[in-house]
Structure 1
Amino acid sequence: MVLFPRILAAFLIALWVYAPAQGRSEEEREGGIIGTGIVGTITHLGSIHVNGLHIQVDDMMPISGSVEPMSAGDLEPGHTVAIVAERVDDGWHARHIRQVFPLVGQVTDFGDGELAVLGTRVTVGETLPDLLVGDWVAVSGLWQEKAVRASRIERLTGTEYQARISGTYLSSDQNGALVIGSSLISGISPQHLQSGDLVRVYGEPGPSGIEATRLETGLFDETVGIIQVQGYYSAPQPDGLYTVLGSGLVAYTERPEMIDQNDSVIRCGQTGRLIDSGVADQDGNDARDLQAELGC
């Protein structure tokens, strides 16, 4: 009688197939196949350091979102980036890098340690770059309240560029118009934006904003697991919603006075929500270890 050996063989085959599949799903949950998102400012090179993490990069890797075509070897301190990374041999390796510009447009005004681009104030520290009104600039940095704290400003040669804004949508103005920072977005009336969404807008520049021809949401072109972000908190909305500006990650508070908007923070998030240490939507100690390694 051969029934029992056949059943045993079928069981062993099923077990052999299931084990690798289970391993793959665990690897995906832990940030192996599904990458980890890292969003912040490059502090120094070799390969690159972002938010205190040393991330190995291939210098020939093409960078998405750049104004001019560039590769990872062209990145400089002060550039703001959104990286999809994975841990390999206990180190971080980038597999995709997007250059993030809060603003790309023409300079419309100067002030004391600041300038205006697309209707939004840009603080630049003690020394203003050598710029003129009308110059095109690409601004790297972090949003704070309705302004951008620039970490790097690059003057663009020529004028054949699309204006850009990358920032957080929180609410419309009194006329129902879309506003990001202090920049008015016209030309497009999106129907499904939610408060806290990260929005990337492209179009024609104006003194108070941008005439949009294209609007996209999110920082990443692929699914990521845990996201580590650097930035400043927004002021809480009437319903208690707040975000790390420029991240697309939100949370709610019943104590809005406790949300400090003056100092930058490093936070983790997942599936559009800010999360506290050790509470990622992943099972096991590996998820907690990953958050600990990310410092959030």
Structure 2
Amino acid sequence: MMRVLLLSLVTMLGLAAQAEEAVRLGISGVVEGVSPLKVAGREISVPQGVPVISPLGPGHEIAVGDTLAVVVRPVGGQLVASRILEVFPIVGPMRDVSDASANVMGTQVHLPPNVKVKAGQAVAVSGFWSGGQLITTKLRRIEWQGFGQLVGAFEEAGALQIGMTGIVGAEVPQDGFGDHIWILSGAPEGAQLRVRLMAKGLFGGPVDLALWQGYASLPIASQTYMLHGSGVVGMARDAQMPKPGILVTRCAQEGRVVTAAPEGFETAFAALDCLRHIPAD
């Protein structure tokens, strides 16, 4: 009898370990440190050989201010990266440049202080959407070869646009674009992007739980808000609603903010330290 119990215990522990190992978590946010990598306030261990996927090509080096989408798994108290995507919400040529902003494909991009750019310069912009505009965390000048990109969600009902950039040539999915975040690549045409390639999501597939940074919206319904550009929606009592226009961090599952550990994902919830960002009553 004891042998059966021991075998059962070993089997259960083995299954639990496999389940823990199979947990796939996402972190989407700004880089706060490089060595070690720190994104959205979370320190991430990056094994040798994990590449940075970037539209700027291979060998791209991460820098503070970049925005990343990182797939991690909890291992021995650490978050270990298995996939790193460089996220540029907008890539294209600038026009109407002023001291504080520029227009990229029809979308207003807020420029960091002391950044010197000129009209016609192509840029890859890291940052976060705030309504129809982009708040920049880092700007990279690039050699332009006719390439444009948008990364975000379709937030205006009935409007085929991300930010203030119109989308043309995209094959609308049978069930629509929904609340998902999309990566659209193609060629800029004035205030539009002519889409040639499109992909849904930032993490290369489903994740069990994700940590998101983003600017909070005005209420979109009673006690309901969203994180601009992410497709993430949260519900909160009036006293706990985030102030519109501030950068917040939230954990979400399947696009919905969670304020308690989903059943079966208690360890993942703790590994991402989700409690840190739940407003107090």
Measured against the shorter chain, the TM-score band is 0.7 to 0.9
Match of 2:134 among 141, 148, 155: 148
Q: Distance in 1 between matches of 2:176 and 2:23?
A: 25
CA pair 286-168 structure 1, distance change in 2 beyond 3 A: same
2:102 to 115, 122, 140: 115
Q: For residue 121 of structure 1, what is the amino acid of its counterpart?
A: Q
2:251 corresponds to which residue?
268
CA contact (8 A) 1:226 1:280 kept: no
User: Residues 34 and 257 (structure 1 numbering): CA distance in 2 closer, same or farther, change over 3 Å?
Assistant: closer
The answer to whether structure 1 residue 39 and structure 2 residue 39 are counterparts is no
The residue type equivalent to 1:203 in the other structure is G
Question: What is the CA–CA distance in structure 2 between the aligned matches of 1:40 and 1:254, rounded to whole Å?
Answer: 25
Structure 1 distance, partners of 2:153, 2:238, is 21
* Alignment gaps of 5+ in structure 2: none
Task: Indicate the SS of the match to 1:283.
Answer: coil
Rounded to whole Å, the distance in 2 between the matches of 1:257 and 1:111 is 37
Q: Do the aligned partners of 2:127 and 2:135 also contact (CA within 8 Å) in 1?
A: yes
**In structure 1, what is the Cα distance between the partners aligned to 2:268 and 2:138?**
34
After TM superposition, the structure 1 = structure 2 runs for residues 192-231 of structure 1, keeping only pairs within 5 Å, are: 192-193=175-176, 195-231=178-214
Give the Å deviation of 1:24.
Answer: 4.2
What's 1:4 paired with?
Answer: none
TM-score, normalised via structure 1 length: 0.81
Aligned length: 276
Whether the 8 Å contact between 1:177 and 1:185 is mirrored in structure 2 is: no
CA distances 1:117-173 after superposition (whole Å, capped 9, x unpaired): 1111111133233x222221100111112111111111112x32521000121124x
Q: Where does 1:110-259 land on structure 2 (aligned, <5 Å)?
A: 110-129=97-116, 131-157=117-143, 159-172=144-157, 176-190=158-172, 191-193=174-176, 195-237=178-220, 242-252=225-235, 258-259=241-242
Q: What is the one-letter code of the residue matched to 1:76?
A: A
Q: Are residues 40 and 120 of structure 1, via their aligned partners in 2, closer, same or farther at CA, if it must alter by over 3 Å?
A: same
Distance 2:257 2:240 in 1: 18
| The structure with more radius of gyration | 1
Residues 232, 255 of structure 2: 8 Å contact kept? yes
Secondary structure (helix, strand or coil) at the match of 2:271 reads: helix
Whole-Å separation in 2 of the counterparts to 1:227 and 1:114 = 31
**Aligned position for 1:282:** 263
30, 49, 56: which one aligns with 1:67: 56
Deviation at 1:258, TM superposition (A): 4.1
- Please list the CA deviations of residues 68-93 of structure 1 after superposition, one character each: whole Å capped at 9, or x if unmatched: 2125xx11111100001122232222
Cα distance change of structure 1 residues 202 and 239 upon mapping to structure 2, 3 Å threshold = farther
Going from structure 1 to structure 2, the CA distance change for 1:115 and 1:59 (only over 3 Å counts) comes to farther
Residue 19 of structure 1 corresponds to 12
Whether the 8 Å CA contact 1:270–1:280 is kept in 2: the answer is no
Q: Which amino acid is the alignment partner of residue 292 of structure 1? A: D
Query: In structure 1, which of residues 24, 34, 48 is the aligned counterpart of residue 37 of structure 2?
Result: 48
Q: 2:89–2:152: 8 Å Cα contact kept in structure 1?
A: yes
Residue 201 (structure 1) shift: 0.9
Unaligned runs of 5+ in 1: 1-7
Question: Residues 33 and 294 from structure 1, CA distance in 2 versus in 1: closer, same or farther, beyond 3 angstroms?
Answer: farther
Q: CA RMSD in A?
A: 3.0
Quick check: 2:45–2:81 contact (8 Å CA) kept in 1?
yes
Cα shift at 1:274: 1.0
